[in-house]
Chains A and B, each alone.
Chain A
Amino acid sequence: MSFDSRRRFLQTGAAGATACVLPLPVFAQQRNFDPQPGPWRSFEITTRVEVQQPQGATRLWLPVPSVNSDWQQSLDNSWSTNGRAQLASDRHDGARMLEVEFAPGEAKPQVELTSRVRTRSRALDAAAGPQARLDAADLHYWTRPTALLPTDGIVRQTALEATRGAATDAQKVRRLYDWVVTNTYREPKVRGCGEGDIKTMLETGNLGGKCADLNAVFVGMCRSLGIPARDVYGLRLAPSAFGYKELGGNPASLKGAQHCRAEVFLQGRGWVAMDPADVAKVMRLETPEWIKTTGHPVVAPVNKALFGGWEGNWVAWNTAHDVALPHSAGPKLGFFMYPAGENAQGRFDPYAPDDFKYQITARDLPAGT
């Protein structure tokens, strides 16, 4: 029932002797999600890392905000440590990081890193980027396959099927966005996980939970069709202002709040925000029931707004792939979104920080900071 007709009903109803109270479940569930670019919001992000049982020399690498755009300004970084630290960068994608080296004798290697950043929400209508075209080199760069984003085989096949009949890039992106949102409901064909490459995700049909990076599937499929796209790796910082518990982080404990978003480049619009993975997350987890349709009142506003926008309660670290950590003896990282560390025995496991303990917190800074 629309707002106007409800008002009319109540007005006529009040004229009667008894007033009936009618439950309006749809209205009660109506949610709002409409991030718009507004004033800048300033955050201070603090990462504390402790190596529990050091064996020999230890090296750590911590991501710092490396993106500067009309929706994020990466400001300064400061740190304290009982090791030797310096800011460093991945050579190819400009992913900046704090690199810390600890001597073999150091019994309790630790570092505390504080980064300041300003963020803003994004919305589709507002996205009329100054850069309406990509030159050939950039076009090639943002459609290239990477170790975790192959763009041939089942990736391209799936993308072609999903976009059949779509003519323009914008239409194809819409289809791929819808595909990602819809296909996280499938029971996996095979109960197995890949290492994170999207080909294995598509082969096993395992597109849910920790085994899958849905926005990477989205980016890979866009690239396979020649549409420039990239992952943006970052961290949620604060609750959602729209009350969606799945779309925010607890600023007192952000160590599990890493989240990867996506962008596509559309002619005449520039880089446009995309986050179909978060739509899928809301459908799966926001309410006790697993919502299966994007038309549901809890989902519909999110499904609409995350095509072209997102909320500024998240910081972007970088858009890097195949990241070589400086002075590391180990292999490249598919992406750099978590603190990384290693000693002579090998890399620490960032997903299960037991001997590699870290915590991340954030706080809003006063306006104008």
Chain B
Amino acid sequence: MLMPWTLLRCPLAHNGVMQPPCDDLMQDEHGRARRRWLLRAASFAAAAGWPLCGRAETERWPARAAAPAWNAADLEGRGWDSQAVRGRAVLLNFWASWCEPCRSEMPTLQQLAEFHGVQRLAVLAINFKEPQASAARFARNTALSLPVLLDPQGTVAKAWGVKVFPTTVLIDRNGQPRWRVRGEMDWTGREAQALVDGLLA
């Protein structure tokens, strides 16, 4: 029985975002035509700067789409919104303590923030729908020094269209979102560096 590997591993088009294939397992009678199509799709994606399947999926923010309005309080009760970080590049990282890939990438986010400094880059860790105590405990146990914002009803995540955790939205100094990264990323790695440098340019 033929299993639809490519559909399940790398759907070609989903939510309007084309994703190049991880590998080529098509063996059915339509395989050859499909492979040609996949190759074209892959070269298109490569030209667009999208990486092949891996740990995170990076997608360009549509150029004409404005940033959604948002606001949230941090663990100390201070309010944050787009005005609070005006003039700086921003990473909005959506996470939850039950999400293992979120926990896993958090130290690299912290390192990224420390490397660039708060004057240039604001990295905000927006906790999804957990009680304050849970988010605070996680921050305490991991010595997390990034601002931790609370999204108890999930309204901020919803406004940004976030359903997968972690998701990080990269916003330039003019407040224009430029990239959405779904899934765990090494924020000290080269791909991340390229993305962040683009924000600071």
Identity of the chain A residue whose Cβ is nearest the Cβ of B131 in the assembled complex = A346
Contacts of A161 in B (CB 8 A): 4, 7-8
Per a CB cutoff under 8 Å, which of B3, B131, B182 touches A345? B131
Contacts of B132 in A (CB 8 A): 345-346
**Nearest CB of B to A83, in Å:** 20
Contacts between chains A and B (CB distance < 8 A), count: 99
Most central of A157, A191, A345 by chain B CB within 10 Å: A191
**Nearest CB of B to A124, in Å:** 21
A179 within 8 A of B: yes
A269 within 8 A of B: no
Main secondary structure, interface of B, reads loop
Instruction: Find out whether the CB atom of A190 lies under 8 angstroms from the CB atom of B3.
Output: no
Contacts of A182 in B (CB 8 A): 3
B101 within 8 A of A: yes
| Known contacts A192-B183, A349-B130; A209 and B8 CB within 8 A of each other | no
CA distance A210 to B19 in the complex (A): 25
A189 within 8 A of B: yes
**Nearest CB of A to B34, in Å:** 14
Instruction: Find out whether the CB atom of B14 lies under 8 angstroms from the CB atom of A154.
Output: yes
A3 within 8 A of B: no
In the complex, how many residues of chain A place their beta carbon closer than 8 angstroms to a beta carbon of chain B? 37
CA distance A202 to B14 in the complex (A): 11
Classify chain B's interface size. 35 or more
Identity of the chain A residue whose Cβ is nearest the Cβ of B130 in the assembled complex = A349
Instruction: Find out whether the CB atom of A205 lies under 8 angstroms from the CB atom of B9.
Output: yes
| Known contacts A191-B184, A192-B165; A186 and B9 CB within 8 A of each other | yes
CA distance A183 to B8 in the complex (A): 8
Contacts of B159 in A (CB 8 A): none
Instruction: Find out whether the CB atom of B164 lies under 8 angstroms from the CB atom of A347.
Output: no
Q: Could you pull out 6 A-B pairs where Cβ atoms are within 8 angstroms? A: A162-B3, A189-B57, A191-B104, A193-B102, A195-B165, A203-B15
Interface residues as binary, A204-216 with B (CB distance below 8 Å gives 1, 0 otherwise): 1100011100000
A76 within 8 A of B: no
Among B75-101, those with CB < 8 Å from A are 96-101
Which residue numbers of A lie inside 8 Å of B, CB to CB?
154, 157-158, 161-162, 175, 178-179, 182-183, 186, 188-195, 197, 200, 202-205, 209-211, 345-349, 351-352, 354-355
Interface residues as binary, B8-20 with A (CB distance below 8 Å gives 1, 0 otherwise): 1111001100010
Contacts of A188 in B (CB 8 A): 183
**Nearest CB of B to A163, in Å:** 10
Instruction: Find out whether the CB atom of A192 lies under 8 angstroms from the CB atom of B131.
Output: no
Identity of the chain B residue whose Cβ is nearest the Cβ of A161 in the assembled complex = B4
B133 within 8 A of A: yes
**Nearest CB of B to A56, in Å:** 13
Per a CB cutoff under 8 Å, which of A175, A179, A204, A210 touches B164? A204
Instruction: Find out whether the CB atom of B164 lies under 8 angstroms from the CB atom of A193.
Output: yes
Identity of the chain A residue whose Cβ is nearest the Cβ of B8 in the assembled complex = A183
Contacts of B19 in A (CB 8 A): 189
CA distance A351 to B131 in the complex (A): 13
CA distance A296 to B89 in the complex (A): 53
| Known contacts A182-B3, A211-B100; A349 and B55 CB within 8 A of each other | no
Instruction: Find out whether the CB atom of A193 lies under 8 angstroms from the CB atom of B134.
Output: no
Contacts of A154 in B (CB 8 A): 11, 14
Identity of the chain A residue whose Cβ is nearest the Cβ of B163 in the assembled complex = A200
Instruction: Find out whether the CB atom of A190 lies under 8 angstroms from the CB atom of B164.
Output: yes
